[in-house]
Structure 1
Amino acid sequence: MAKQLTILFWGFIYGEVIGYVLSALSGSPFEPLQSGLIAMVGGFIAVNCLLAFVKSPKKATKTDK
């Protein structure tokens, strides 16, 4: 649970920074809530999908030989 909350928190923070920089470069208005929420959801999905594919290998037992 704490891992998921950390992902959401840092996703929001990075989304704010990236959204501010991109809006300044493109000249469009900065929408903080939208940029933070999009990054939160995207980061949450990306990390959980990666965890589904990347798992630590099983340790070999004596019966596996």
Structure 2
Amino acid sequence: MSAAVDRRAQAVDRRASAVDRGAQAVDRGAQAVDRRAQAVDRGALAVDRRAQAVDRRAQAIDRGA
């Protein structure tokens, strides 16, 4: 009986370890998604700044015309 309990406990431990590894993989994936989202945000900000510069240039041209 004790050997069967030990084997079951080992199986539970192995399953728990597998679940932990899966959770760590999910965390790493979420971190990668966060990094990508931050990069997209930085790109969008750069586009906004460029659009503002273009607008200012167009306004300057309009004033000069």
Q: TM-score range by the shorter chain?
A: 0.3 to 0.5
**Greater helix fraction, Structure 1 or Structure 2:** 2
- Normalising to structure 1: TM-score of the pair? 0.38
Using the size of structure 2 for normalisation, the TM-score is: 0.38
Tell me: higher relative CO, structure 1 or 2? Use CA pairs within 8 A at least 6 residues apart: 1
